[in-house]
């Protein structure tokens, strides 16, 4: 029997929380572990109160598999959570907030620009950007704030590859805007009045300035670019020129600056956690160093060379399992439906806790252990149905996944090839933050002991 057709047997339990604030503190401390604990106690469906909102959480492999089924697509909608952002930009729609045909239409416009194809032939350019970033931000003898350094690196890479220019002078503004928008308008963990702060207004104005520059740049170069050289911004702008209904003027700034909202914090936090996890595990570090020394032994690299660094790939996958930046996906129920013996009502706000299985012994033996060999056959623990979802599930699965994979592998290979790094102090235990994107705390630093190459 399909999980959506399971007869309704019980009232959905409400997780015990504190008076007035509910489970806000548990969620702020460690949402991934909180959902795992609740899943163990209550099963795949439970309710969580956060201040004056109550969310229904659907979690585990059941939920991860449901999200991509026909019922899942019919019953779950993204729109409500992103409406505030769309309104804030004076736009009509955004990729993350559309569903059904409208979503498909936008995804089709952006698919090529976000794909692995977009970086074909550009691996060595990505390495040059990484080298530039290392020379700029990672000085020998210094303790480098890892996440911040990664934010500059990622902006440099995404800007160059996806949009044609690297807007480093806007990094702080982009980050501030993401912080406010995700906290206030999308996840609604903070009050709306914060949007009146001059800090936010200034940052948002700068992001608009960046968006308008990108649009002006397109028009300045229009006609001179061959089809095969077109980037994401060209594809978005071409859609606008071709069909104003598809991509109206009002939606341009939101869409052209979208890659930074989607890719900056996600990648920066993931590779920040990678640096910590690898330095914490000397055996993984040793294997990675041996691998990357062989990778770069001949100077330039070919695309197939990325297949020769299994330890780097294993460490990235293990980082995404243990430090998922997207703990859950947020949705609204479009209609009443049954799930795992519970009745979900139309309009209920939902968290789909897809990262819960990442921490379950049943699927990943000794789940707290950083074990970079889990993903190689015959173990291939991530291949079990619904257990591993760092890029989400269903129609909104990360569109930049292939790009992110190459970007993270090359960046980490190059960083660990170039630099001899150490935790500072050596027994440092990672502090994490959860808002807006879970990841290492901004004060996480590593010591640059010297250059390896």
User: Total number of residues binding ligand HEM (CB under 6 A)?
Assistant: 25
> Using an 8 Å Cβ cutoff, are 63 and 28 in contact?
no
**CA–CA separation, 322 and 184 (whole Å):** 26
Q: Is 392 in the site for ligand HEM (CB under 6 A)?
A: yes
**CA–CA separation, 191 and 22 (whole Å):** 16
Q: Is 421 exposed, middle or buried (0-12, 13-18, 19+ CB in 10 A)?
A: buried
Segment 97 to 116, residues that bind ligand HEM, using CB under 6 A: 107, 114
> Using an 8 Å Cβ cutoff, are 252 and 215 in contact?
yes
Q: Is 263 in the site for ligand HEM (CB under 6 A)?
A: yes
Considering the complex, state which of residue 274 and residue 447 has its C-beta at the smaller distance from ligand HEM.
274
Q: How far is the CB of 95 from ligand HEM (least distance, A)?
A: 5
**CA–CA separation, 280 and 427 (whole Å):** 8
* Residue window 285-324: x/- pattern of binding to ligand HEM, with contact defined by CB under 6 A: -----------------------------------x----
Candidate list 56, 96, 338, 437; residue touching ligand HEM; CB under 6 A: 96
Strands 349-353 and 329-333: antiparallel
Question: Where does this chain touch ligand HEM (CB under 6 A) — which range of 21-29, 261-269, 292-300, 423-431?
Answer: 261-269
Q: Is 404 in the site for ligand HEM (CB under 6 A)?
A: yes
Q: Residue 63: in which H helix or E strand, if any?
A: helix 60-66
Considering the complex, state which of residue 56 and residue 270 has its C-beta at the smaller distance from ligand HEM.
270
Question: Where does this chain touch ligand HEM (CB under 6 A) — which range of 168-176, 200-208, 265-273, 292-300?
Answer: 265-273
Q: At what angle do helices 198-221 and 171-180 cross, to 10 degrees?
A: 120
Residue with tokens 């794909």: 115
> Using an 8 Å Cβ cutoff, are 371 and 281 in contact?
no
Q: At what angle do helices 258-280 and 146-158 cross, to 10 degrees?
A: 140
Q: Is 398 in the site for ligand HEM (CB under 6 A)?
A: yes
Could you tell me which of 443, 191, 182, 162 has the C-alpha nearest to residue 325?
182
Candidate list 48, 75, 76, 95; residue touching ligand HEM; CB under 6 A: 95
Shortest-Cβ-distance residue relative to ligand HEM? 400
Considering the complex, state which of residue 392 and residue 436 has its C-beta at the smaller distance from ligand HEM.
392
Residue 375's SS3 state is coil
Q: Is 390 in the site for ligand HEM (CB under 6 A)?
A: yes
**CA–CA separation, 62 and 385 (whole Å):** 9
**DSSP conformational letter for 299:** S
Considering the complex, state which of residue 259 and residue 357 has its C-beta at the smaller distance from ligand HEM.
259
Considering the complex, state which of residue 103 and residue 447 has its C-beta at the smaller distance from ligand HEM.
103
Q: Is 440 in the site for ligand HEM (CB under 6 A)?
A: no
Residue with tokens 């899942």: 72
Candidate list 259, 357, 438, 439; residue touching ligand HEM; CB under 6 A: 259
Contacts of 217 (CB under 8 A, 6+ apart): 164, 165, 233
Considering the complex, state which of residue 78 and residue 447 has its C-beta at the smaller distance from ligand HEM.
78
Q: At what angle do helices 100-114 and 232-242 cross, to 10 degrees?
A: 130
Q: Is 262 in the site for ligand HEM (CB under 6 A)?
A: yes
Q: How far is the CB of 146 from ligand HEM (least distance, A)?
A: 15
Candidate list 145, 164, 400, 438; residue touching ligand HEM; CB under 6 A: 400
Segment 139 to 178, residues that bind ligand HEM, using CB under 6 A: 158
Segment 25 to 64, residues that bind ligand HEM, using CB under 6 A: none
Candidate list 143, 246, 326, 442; residue touching ligand HEM; CB under 6 A: 326
Contacts of 28 (CB under 8 A, 6+ apart): 189, 434, 435
Q: Is 403 in the site for ligand HEM (CB under 6 A)?
A: yes
**CA–CA separation, 273 and 430 (whole Å):** 9
Residue 135's SS3 state is helix
Candidate list 176, 231, 329, 355; residue touching ligand HEM; CB under 6 A: 329
Interacting residue ranges for ligand HEM, rule: CB under 6 A? 78, 95-96, 107, 114, 158, 259, 262-263, 266-267, 270, 320, 325-326, 329, 390-392, 396, 398-400, 403-404
């Amino acid at each position: 029997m399909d999980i959506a057709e399971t007869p309704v047997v019980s009232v959905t339990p409400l997780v015990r929380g504190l008076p007035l604030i509910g489970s806000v503190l548990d969620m702020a401390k460690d949402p991934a572990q909180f959902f795992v604990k609740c899943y163990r106690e209550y099963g795949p469906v439970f309710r969580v109160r956060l201040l004056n909102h109550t969310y229904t959480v659907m979690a585990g492999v059941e939920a991860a598999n449901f999200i991509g089924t026909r019922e899942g697509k019919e019953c779950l909608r993204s729109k409500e959570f992103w409406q505030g952002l769309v309104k804030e930009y004076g736009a009509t729609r955004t990729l993350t907030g559309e569903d059904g045909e409208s979503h498909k239409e936008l995804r089709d416009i952006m698919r090529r620009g976000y794909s692995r194809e977009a970086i074909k032939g550009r691996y060595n350019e990505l390495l040059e950007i990484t080298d530039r970033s290392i020379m700029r931000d990672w000085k020998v003898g210094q303790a480098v704030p890892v996440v911040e350094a990664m934010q500059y690196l990622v902006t440099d890479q995404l800007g160059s590859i996806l949009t044609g220019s690297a807007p480093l002078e806007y990094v702080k503004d982009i980050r501030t805007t993401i912080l406010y928008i995700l906290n206030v308008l999308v996840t609604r963990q903070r009050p709306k009045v914060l949007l009146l702060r001059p800090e936010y207004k200034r940052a948002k104005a700068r992001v608009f300035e960046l968006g308008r520059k990108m649009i002006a740049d397109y028009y300045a170069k229009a006609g001179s670019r061959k089809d095969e050289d077109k980037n994401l911004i060209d594809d978005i702008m071409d859609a606008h020129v071709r069909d104003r209904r598809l991509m109206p003027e009002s939606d341009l700034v939101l869409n052209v600056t979208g890659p930074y909202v989607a890719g900056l914090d996600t990648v920066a936090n993931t590779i920040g956690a990678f640096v910590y996890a690898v330095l914490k595990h000397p055996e993984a570090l040793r294997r990675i160093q041996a691998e990357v020394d062989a990778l770069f032994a001949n100077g330039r690299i070919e695309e197939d060379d990325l297949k020769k660094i299994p330890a780097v790939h294993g460490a990235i996958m293990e980082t995404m399992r243990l430090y998922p930046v997207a703990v859950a996906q947020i949705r609204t129920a479009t209609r009443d439906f049954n799930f795992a013996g519970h009745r979900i009502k139309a309009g209920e706000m939902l968290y789909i806790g897809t990262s819960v299985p990442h921490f379950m012994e049943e699927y990943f033996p000794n789940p707290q252990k950083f074990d970079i060999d889990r993903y190689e056959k015959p173990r291939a623990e991530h291949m079990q149905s619904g257990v591993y979802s760092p890029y989400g599930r269903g129609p909104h699965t990360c569109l930049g996944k292939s790009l992110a994979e190459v970007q993270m592998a090359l960046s980490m290979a190059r960083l660990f090839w170039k630099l001899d790094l150490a935790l500072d102090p050596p027994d440092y235990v990672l502090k994490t933050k959860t808002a807006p994107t879970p990841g290492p705390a901004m004060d996480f630093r590593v010591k640059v002991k010297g250059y390896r190459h």
